Structure 1
Amino acid sequence: MEESIQFFPASQVPANPYFSILIPSWNNLAYLQLCIAAIRKHSTTSFEIILHLNEANDGSKEWVESQKDIAFSYSPINVGVCYAMNAMVKLARADYFLYLNDDMYVLPHWDGFLKEEIESIGHTEFFLSATAIEPKAQSACSIQADFGRSLATFEEARLLETYESFPFADWQGATWPPNVVHRSLWDKVGGYSNEFTPGMYSDPDFSMKCWQAGVRLFKGISRSRVYHFGSISVKRVKQNKGYYQFIRKWGMTSSTLSKYYLRRGDTFDGPLVQRPIPLTVHLKNLYYRLSLPFRK
C-alpha cells in the first residue's frame, strides 16, 4: 500500500506554521470543503493544511490541486487512516501535528485554546484533544447536541450562536481526533500502526503506545470545540477486526485501557496514575487472549 502513495507539497506555504493540520479523506469532497472553510475562517494560530486523499474519484483531487496552500498525499486506492497519517507527516513542517476528521467543522478559536494549553504545559510529553459536539455522543468525552446529521440539515448559524453555552469540564483520556501531539512524541512511538488498517482501533492503539512511552497527560480541552457529523467514512468502509487485534497486541481490551489507564471521560484532575485493575477484569482479558486462536 505504501508504495502507491504520491506526495504533492503546497506551492504557497506559511513561513513558520505552529500546527500541521492533518486530514485524511476518502471521496468526501463536500464535507472536506466545509471542514477547510471552517479552518480558514475560525483558526487564530498559524497553520498548514495537509491532506491524504484516498481514491479521490469524486473530484477532490482536482479541487485540492486548485488550492495552492494545501499540501497532500494521494493514493489511487483506499489505504485507510494509518497509512494516510504516516504519509501526511512526511509533508509536515510544524512541530505540532493536529489530526482532524474531514467531517468536522471547527469552531472559533479552537486552535488557540489548544495552543494556550500547550504553552502552559511546558514540555512535549502530552496528548491533547479538542471536544466534539455530536448529534449522538460517541462517549462521555463528547457533548451531545444535534445541529444536523448531514450537510443538508446542518444548522451552522444556530451552532455558532450556541456552541459555547454547553457546560463541559476538561476531561481525561484524550484518544480520538481532533488531537495534537508534538513531533518528537510521534517519532518516539512510530506514528500510527499500519497493522490496524483501515483504521478501527488505531486510535486507542496510538494512545497505548504513548502510555508505554511514558506519557501521563491525556487531556481533553473543553473550550476547544468542533462539530462532528459522525463517522461519515467509517460507515462505508470494510472494517478490520480491531477489537481483537488490540487484545492480541496489548494483552487487554481497549476498554481496559480506557477505564483503568486513561480514565476516559472523567473530569480532568491532573496527570494520570493507573487505577488498580480488578481480578475479574484480568480474568476477562486472559479469557480473550486464550480464545484468540479460535477467532477469525
Structure 2
Amino acid sequence: MNFIYNKVALDFEPVFSILIPSWNNLAYLKCTVDSIRKNSALRHQIVVHINEGLDGSEEWVKSQNDLSYSKSSGNCGVCYGFNAASHLATSEYLVFIDDDMYLCPDWDKYLWEEIKTRTDDKWCISSTMIEPFDKGNPCVIANKPYGLHPEEFEEARFLNDYANFEKADWNGSQWYPMVLPTAVYRVVGGLSIEFTPGMYSDPDFMIKLWHYGIRYYKGISKSRAYHFGSKTTARVKRNDGRSMFILKWGMSSNTFFSNYLKIGTSFLGDLPETTETTSLDWKKRLDRWKVKLKKRFIPLSNR
C-alpha cells in the first residue's frame, strides 16, 4: 500500500490539529468539514486521511485551500489513517474526529477552556456525542434523530434544540471528538496498527494512556457533536479486536472501562488508582478463559 502526504501552509497558528480519516464517504466528510468551518470559535488546522478515495474525496480535498491530507492507495483503516495524518499536524493538540459528525457551535471553545485548566499533559478530553438511536452508551445523548445522512439532516431544528439536552460531564473519555496533547500521542506510539482496520483500537489507546499515567479522562457536556452513526464500520471487514485486546492486556475492554475508567459515570476529577481485588482478578481470569475457549473451538478460517 502506498502513502502520499500534502501539507497546506497556514498563515496562522492553529489551536488544534483536527484529524479526520475518511473512506469513500464524501458527502459526510463535506458535512463534517463544513461544520468545523461554521461552528468553531477558534482557528484550526484540518488534516484529512483519504482511504482509497474512489468517490472523488481526493479531488475535493485538493480543491480546498485549507485542508492538508495524507492518502493511502487502499483502505488502511483508522489506525494507519490517524497515524499518517498526525505526521502533518502542527499544533500542540490533536483532535480526533470521525467523518460522519456534525460539530456544534463553540464545540472547540469548551474543550479549550478545559485544557487551559490543566497544568500537565496527563489528560484526555472528549466532546459529547448526540446520536439518533440508543445503543446503550452511557456517554451519549441518545434518541435524538435529526437525520441519518447530510442530505436529510435537519440542521436548523437541531441547532435550535441541541444545547437544551440535559447531560452532566462524564468519566471515561474515549469517544470522538477527542483531544489530547500531540506529544502524548507520539510518546505512546499512536494507535496500535495490529488492530487494523480499527475495532478495539480506541480502548487499546485508552489503556496505553492509562499506563502512561493519565487519570483525567473527561467528557465535556457543553462541547457537542451530532453523530450520524458509524457509516464506515458498517462496510468494513472487522478484526477480532475483543480477543486481541484481552490477549494483549489480560482483561476485556469492559473490565477496563468499568474498573479503571469508570466510563459513563459522573465526572468527579482524576480517577483513583484501581485496587486489585480478588473479584477483579477473577474477572480478568474469566476474560482470558473465554478467549482461550473461543480459539480452541472456532476454526481459524471462521474467525
What is the TM-score of this pair, normalised by structure 1? 0.95
Counterparts of residues 72-221 of structure 1 (less than 5 Å): 72-138=69-135, 139-144=137-142, 145-221=144-220
Q: Which amino acid aligns with 2:207?
A: M
Q: 2:285 aligns with which of 264, 267, 283?
A: 283
The 3-state SS of whatever aligns with 1:271 is: coil
Task: Indicate conservation of the 8 Å contact 1:35/1:105, yes or no.
Answer: yes
Cα shift at 1:290: 3.7
| Match in the other structure for 1:58 | 55
Work out the CA distance in 1 between the residues paired with 2:99 and 2:221. Answer: 20
The 3-state SS of whatever aligns with 1:236 is: coil
1:122-171 alpha-carbon deviations (Å, 9 max, x no partner): 22111110000001244100001111122243111111001000110000
| Match in the other structure for 1:272 | 271
Cα shift at 1:283: 3.3
Q: Which amino acid aligns with 2:283?
A: V
| Match in the other structure for 1:7 | 5
Cα shift at 1:14: 3.8
Tell me whether 1:70 sits opposite 2:67 in the alignment: yes
Cα shift at 1:273: 1.4
Q: Which amino acid aligns with 1:183?
A: T
The 3-state SS of whatever aligns with 1:143 is: coil
Aligned length: 293
Work out the CA distance in 2 between the residues paired with 1:155 and 1:290. Answer: 47
Work out the CA distance in 2 between the residues paired with 1:127 and 1:155. Answer: 31
Task: Indicate conservation of the 8 Å contact 1:19/1:95, yes or no.
Answer: yes
Work out the CA distance in 2 between the residues paired with 1:5 and 1:183. Answer: 21
1:76-129 alpha-carbon deviations (Å, 9 max, x no partner): 200000001110111000000000011000000000100000001122111110
Work out the CA distance in 2 between the residues paired with 1:14 and 1:263. Answer: 42
1:188-219 alpha-carbon deviations (Å, 9 max, x no partner): 21101000000000000000000011100010
Work out the CA distance in 2 between the residues paired with 1:152 and 1:185. Answer: 37
Work out the CA distance in 2 between the residues paired with 1:207 and 1:137. Answer: 23
Cα shift at 1:75: 1.0
The 3-state SS of whatever aligns with 1:93 is: coil
Cα shift at 1:231: 0.2
Structure 2 residue ranges without an equivalent (≥5): none
Task: Indicate conservation of the 8 Å contact 1:9/1:72, yes or no.
Answer: yes
Root-mean-square deviation (Å): 1.4
Task: Indicate conservation of the 8 Å contact 1:14/1:46, yes or no.
Answer: no
Task: Indicate conservation of the 8 Å contact 2:252/2:284, yes or no.
Answer: no
Work out the CA distance in 2 between the residues paired with 1:186 and 1:283. Answer: 30
What is the TM-score of this pair, normalised by structure 2? 0.93
Work out the CA distance in 2 between the residues paired with 1:73 and 1:237. Answer: 20
Task: Indicate conservation of the 8 Å contact 1:248/1:292, yes or no.
Answer: no
1:210-251 alpha-carbon deviations (Å, 9 max, x no partner): 001110001000000000000001101111110111011111
1:24-74 alpha-carbon deviations (Å, 9 max, x no partner): 000010111111111000001120000000010101110110001100001
Task: Indicate conservation of the 8 Å contact 2:246/2:288, yes or no.
Answer: no
The 3-state SS of whatever aligns with 2:49 is: strand
Work out the CA distance in 2 between the residues paired with 1:14 and 1:104. Answer: 27
